[in-house]
Amino acid sequence: MSENESNEPRTDGSGPGIVAPDDEVPTWRERKERTTGLSRVTYEYFERARREDQDLRQESSYVERDVLGFPTWPHETIRNIALASFFTGMLLFLSAMLPPHLGDVANPAETPEVILPDWYLYWSFGLLHLDPINPELAIVGGEKIMSDELYGVLANVVVVGVIAILPFLNKGSARRPVEEPFWAALGVGGVVFAFTMSILPIQEMFPWEVAITFDLAFFLPIIAAAITYAVLKTMREGYMYDLNRRYYRLRPPR
């Protein structure tokens, strides 16, 4: 068999087997541009976004440094392995020192005196005990519009829902608690609320009246929030002054 020197396409299975793109074959970009409908708008948007990105980069006065951090290997990796081993070691130590116990076997006939979930659900369990503030409607003859259980379930939904929408309520670039005393106070109040709700299921076990515990469960978070607010507001002036001075010395306003 003689070697075929010419570039004529061959049909015997040899040769590159790939048709080189000539003028007839649309490029990838042209293909995209010819599309219609959703893929077309997607493409157009990406083009725009890429152009915007490029423009912003060209405009920026941002100076690249040669080294922007320290290497993943070995520095970061070794540090992470060390941290992870230490943490796992602590876990094993805890397991060896404080083994769990296995309570009595399940007995549907005998209700235990104290029913409690695991500790991390105490707050949720506490929210099921809000029946004293389940509103009664005068129109329906002083009856509650919903059962106490449903009220408790809704309270859980509301708490989780409020946490979920936080990023849509508080925007902006402030990060440190002193910059936003209100939101820091809300956070501290929320944490204390989780703790006070946790004691509601055992409110009968205190040597004073139940109503006092119940009221405290709502007042303590408010008091904690108020104290946080006051402290941060007081700190704020001096602190922000320092922070701004540093900040603007390094980056004078235009």
- Is residue 254 a contact point for another protein (CB under 8 A)? no
Q: Is 7 in the site for another protein (CB under 8 A)?
A: no
For residue 74, the SS3 value is: helix
CB-wise, 191 or 211, nearer to another protein? Answer: 191
DSSP H or E stretch at residue 144:
strand 143-144
170 touches another protein by CB under 8 A: yes
71 in contact with another protein (CB under 8 A): no
| 1 makes contact with another protein (CB under 8 A) | yes
Task: Name which of residues 80 to 109 contact another protein (CB under 8 A).
Answer: 80, 83-84, 87-88, 91-92, 94-96, 98-100, 102-108
What is the distance between the alpha carbons of residues 216 and 36, in angstroms, rounded to a whole number? Answer: 64
Provide the token pair at 126.
């506490």
CA distances from 80 to 17, 67, 68, 77, 162 (A): 50, 21, 19, 5, 34
Nearest to 213 by CA among 225, 198, 228, 223: 198
How much is the CA Rg of the chain, to the nearest whole Å?
Answer: 33
The smaller minimum CB distance to another protein, of residues 153 and 216, is found at 153
Place of tokens 């936003």: 180
Contact 213, 203 (CB under 8 A): yes
Q: Which of 22, 27, 30, 62 binds another protein (CB under 8 A)?
A: 62
Vertex 139: Cα angle to 133 and 142 (nearest 5): 45
Per-residue contact flags (x/-) with another protein for residues 214 to 253, judged by CB under 8 A: -----------------------------x--xx--xx--
Q: Is 19 in the site for another protein (CB under 8 A)?
A: no
Collapsed DSSP state (helix, strand, coil) of residue 136: strand
Closest CA to 190 of 235, 231, 153, 158: 158
Number of CB atoms found within 10 A of residue 124's CB = 18
Judged by CB under 8 A, the stretch of 21-29, 43-51, 118-126, 212-220 that binds another protein is: 118-126
Binding mask 180-219 for another protein (x = CB under 8 A): x--xx--x---x----------------------------
| Contact between 2 and another protein per CB under 8 A | no
Please give the residue ranges that form the binding site for another protein (CB under 8 A). 1, 14, 62, 64-65, 68-69, 80, 83-84, 87-88, 91-92, 94-96, 98-100, 102-108, 110-112, 115-121, 124-125, 128, 147, 149-150, 152-153, 160, 163-164, 166-168, 170-177, 179-180, 183-184, 187, 191, 243, 246-247, 250-251
